[in-house]
Amino acid sequence: MMYERRLPKNALAITFDDGYRNWYEYAFPILKKYSVHATMFIATDFVFKKNPLWVDRLEYAIGLENDDIESKINRDAEIRAQLKKVGSIERERHLAAIERSSSAEFRNFEMERAVYTPLTNTDIEAMKNSGITFGAHTKSHPILSTLSAQETEVEVRDSVIALKEVTHNISETFA
């Protein structure tokens, strides 16, 4: 309807980002119960390659540090703000150093807290069958304005291609 430019009055679009498995466990049953359609924008390296999002690697590493919770929250926010301003290579270097210093290398979701786990292909199939539309949300969830034009193109184009391979029909919108 949106693309045909004939939306009803007070129409709204419900969208979600990233593709965490806890969305499937908590939000999806509610949408299903009320037959509400929504769009999920997927960070494709996170969901299909099971590469943790950089913000989760940071949170996990800081979480293991020997400090009180309030200091950890502040430190996480501070570093997160800094890392949002730098490019992917520099961010990776910083993150790896933080992970090394807190012995927190977190690569395998099976081993780590369920809160960071992405959707599975089975979840996606069930979502497709219940009125969820999919859209691309980059490969690795970078801040696009920190990337070169070429890196941006890869993040956008390859996430669209990876998502189409799994879900076939995808939204024309991008988040």
- Binding flag, residue 45, Zn ion (CB under 5 A): no
Burial (CB < 10 A; 0-12, 13-18, 19+), residue 55, is: middle
Q: How far apart are CA 16 and CA 157, in angstroms?
A: 20
Q: Is 48 in a helix, a strand, or coil?
A: helix
- Binding flag, residue 56, Zn ion (CB under 5 A): no
Residue 86 beta carbon to Zn ion: minimum distance, rounded to whole angstroms = 18
In the bound complex, which residue of the shown chain has the CB atom lying closest to Zn ion?
A: 17
Residue 96 beta carbon to Zn ion: minimum distance, rounded to whole angstroms = 22
Residue 141 beta carbon to Zn ion: minimum distance, rounded to whole angstroms = 6
Window 17-36: contact mask with Zn ion (x via CB under 5 A): xx------------------
Residue 56 beta carbon to Zn ion: minimum distance, rounded to whole angstroms = 11
Q: How far apart are CA 38 and CA 104, in angstroms?
A: 35
Neighbours of 28 (CB within 10 A): 20
Nearer to Zn ion, 17 or 112 (CB): 17
Nearer to Zn ion, 19 or 104 (CB): 19
Tell me the window of 10-18, 22-30, 64-72, 119-127 that interacts with Zn ion (CB under 5 A). 10-18
CA-wise closest residue to 57 among 83, 19, 37, 31: 83
Q: What angle do CA 70, 94, 51 make, to 5 degrees?
A: 90
Which H or E run contains 93? helix 88-101
Nearer to Zn ion, 18 or 155 (CB): 18
- Binding flag, residue 76, Zn ion (CB under 5 A): no
Per CB under 5 A, residues contacting Zn ion are 17-18
